Amino acid sequence: MRGGDITPVYPAIRIVAEEYDAFVRLIADDERLPRSYDEWLRRSARLAAERSARGENLKDVVIHSEEFAYFCLAQAREPSYVLLEELAAEKAART
């Protein structure tokens, strides 16, 4: 990397299996959050492969359901996939 060049980092959202149902309850009716954890894993792997193929620098970011619920409350907004992405981006930038 040359001086001044900054490679953007893109968050890859990771959810632990035990908490997946809580996310499904929090974020209702969004096709980006499949009903089953296995579907989520397949979708996440496919998206990560597509993004890597485009040369994106991905960073795994684990989001916990309670953490997400508190984030939504702090934002005074209803839980949504957009907010999940915002939290992931914030965490990726901090770590």
Q: Report DSSP letters for 29-57, one per residue.
A: S-TTS-SSHHHHHHHHHHHHHHHHHTT-E
Which of the 8 DSSP states describes residue 78? -
Give the span between the Cα atoms of 38 and 61, in whole angstroms: 18
- SS3 call for 28: coil
pTM higher than the cut 0.85: yes
pLDDT at 27: 94
pLDDT at 1: 45
List the chain domain ranges.
9-94
pLDDT tens digits along 23-53: 999 998 888 999 999 999 999 999 999 999 9
Give the span between the Cα atoms of 40 and 91, in whole angstroms: 20
For strands 9-14 and 57-62, give the pairing: parallel
Q: Are 40 and 20 in contact (CB under 8 A)?
A: yes
